[in-house]
Chains A and B, each alone.
Chain A
Amino acid sequence: MAKKYICKVCGYVHTGDKAPAVCPQCQQTNCFEPEKSKGLDTNSNVYTIIYATIVVVIVAVLLAVISQVLSPRQEANKRLDVQKQILTALNVDYSQADPAALYDEYVKEEEWDGKPVFYATIDNTNYTVLPLKGQGLWGGIWGYIALEDDLNTVYGINFGHESETPGLGAEIVTEKFRSQFFGKHIKDGEGNLRSIAVLKEGKRADEGQEQVDAVSGATITSTGVNDMLLNSLDEYKDFLEQIPAAGVEELLNDNEEED
């Protein structure tokens, strides 16, 4: 497409692919510049404001539509993820089966004092799963702890994190770290809730409290796990410290009737 070039000195208009080196009218050299299009002035205030408004509206509508369209799928994924985490805490291998179906088969969602309690029955053995929530180094950490029917012995545990450092804090999700908790007790000899301490190698927990090794190099995340266990279990203190003769299930049922 041929372009138009205007001589800055005399205003001569040249039509062609390239600007001529010398202006045929005034004999100046290097005096041509491309003709400016007569379109919109993209530097005017009005144009800038209208442009910004249009861009914002387009992006806002786009994001809103995408979010609306995708949110049912996202919610389903989130729910499935929680179910998988609870199954992992219960040491259920769901890799060969449909996790949602396994979850429905094993787990009942109950409430105690307005807080969620997951009650599971696997091979005629009952487990109680409690949610954990805390803070790591960079963001939130969470987990699910599965207790045996004495509400004392840890059967399984699972951790998740938002953004802990790979190779350091993120190691809390590994089997190596989690398996340390298996078989540990969250109460002392007298039945008082003590939680489980996460301590650096070589340190000793207080009398009556059991402990696991922290992840080396991830002190703040490990302390976060320690505090998360302490605080989250403490919210269920009254629930955990009483054990009715007929088992945990009765406790949950009683609670329902009171409501």
Chain B
Amino acid sequence: MALSKKTKEAFLGPLNINNPVLVQILGICSALAVTVQLKPALVMGISVTIIVALSNVVVSLIRNSIPARIRIIIQLVVVAALVTIVSEVLKAFAYDVAMQLSVYLGLIITNCILMGRLEAFAMSNNVFDSLLDGLGNGFGYAWILVVVAFVRELFGAGTLLGYQIIPQSWYVANGGFYENCGMMLMPAMALILVGCIIWAHRAINDKEAK
């Protein structure tokens, strides 16, 4: 099955050229909160991807019947209902995961990427394209989170996913020369890192555009 250019664009665009974090500067708030360690960043990335894709599909299904004046409220209801259902199901069948996610579930409802995609894409496109658009934007958001969290955890705590990466013998406390960078654990560092990624992204893509 050959996909149309627009369909491909719906999925591939948000991964790079039209990345929600790097280009549209959406979802920055949660990018700061969950990137101190790699694991919560991964979990948040996956959760947002699932919720964006599902809510995009639901809104796309009912897009022609939504009254224009209350469309934002309807979109919000769809997102909030989905997030609540997912959290209830997790609490019943995967309690440990639900406990780890408890903070992020609230953050997902208010994530600007969700509302942005619903309003800008799902309201005016068919279900399949909306699903791909949701997945694309979710992954686009997730990979930025993972890159930032990778750098912050590695240099801030010397670990990755909780495993010690930088050898203990390197540390000053053990007679070595190395010390963790405490600055990496501060929220400001997430912004600086996102800034650096945006810089690199613009430099590469501007060249291509010329």
Which A residues fall within an 8 A CB radius of B? 42-43, 47-48, 51-52, 55-56, 59, 62-63, 66-67, 70, 73-74, 77-78, 80-81, 138-139, 162-163, 165-168, 217
* B74/A55 in contact, CB under 8 A: yes
Range for the number of chain B residues in contact with chain A: 20 to 34
* B92/A73 in contact, CB under 8 A: yes
Q: Does B73 contact A (CB under 8 A)?
A: yes
* B77/A59 in contact, CB under 8 A: yes
Which B residues fall within an 8 A CB radius of A? 33-34, 36-37, 39-40, 64-70, 73-74, 77, 81, 84-85, 88-89, 91-93, 95, 99, 102-103, 153, 156-157, 182, 185
Q: Which residues of B contact A56 (CB under 8 A)?
A: 77
Q: Which among B34, B85, B103 has the greatest number of chain A C-beta atoms within 10 A?
A: B103
* A47/B81 in contact, CB under 8 A: no
- Chain A nearest CB from B61 CB (Å) reads 13
* B102/A163 in contact, CB under 8 A: yes
Q: Which residues of B contact A162 (CB under 8 A)?
A: 102-103
- Chain B nearest CB from A151 CB (Å) reads 31
* B85/A42 in contact, CB under 8 A: no
Among A51, A59, A63, A74, contact of B91 (Cβ-Cβ < 8 Å): A74
- With A48-B69, A166-B34, A167-B156 as known contacts, state yes or no: A59 contacts B81, CB within 8 Å: yes
B interface: dominant SS:
helix
Among A51, A67, A166, contact of B36 (Cβ-Cβ < 8 Å): A166
Q: Which residues of A contact B33 (CB under 8 A)?
A: 165
CA distance in complex: A66, B89 (Å): 8
Among B40, B85, B95, B182, contact of A66 (Cβ-Cβ < 8 Å): B85
Q: Which residues of A contact B37 (CB under 8 A)?
A: 166-167
* A81/B65 in contact, CB under 8 A: no
Among all A-B residue pairs, the 3 with the closest Cβ atoms: A167-B36, A77-B95, A73-B92
Q: Which residues of A contact B92 (CB under 8 A)?
A: 70, 73-74, 77
* B69/A43 in contact, CB under 8 A: yes
Q: Which residues of B contact A167 (CB under 8 A)?
A: 36-37, 153, 156-157, 185
CA distance in complex: A196, B138 (Å): 46
- Chain A nearest CB from B164 CB (Å) reads 12
CA distance in complex: A81, B85 (Å): 21
Q: Which residues of A contact B103 (CB under 8 A)?
A: 138-139, 162-163
Closest to A41 in B: B67
* A47/B88 in contact, CB under 8 A: no
CA distance in complex: A211, B66 (Å): 61
CA distance in complex: A47, B69 (Å): 11
Q: Which residues of B contact A59 (CB under 8 A)?
A: 77, 81
CA distance in complex: A59, B66 (Å): 15
* B85/A63 in contact, CB under 8 A: yes
* B68/A74 in contact, CB under 8 A: no
9 new A-B pairs (CB below 8 Å) besides A62-B81, A66-B88?
A: A43-B67, A52-B67, A63-B84, A63-B85, A63-B88, A74-B88, A163-B103, A166-B37, A167-B185
* A43/B70 in contact, CB under 8 A: no
* B66/A42 in contact, CB under 8 A: yes
* B67/A47 in contact, CB under 8 A: yes
* A48/B40 in contact, CB under 8 A: no
Q: Which residues of A contact B99 (CB under 8 A)?
A: 81
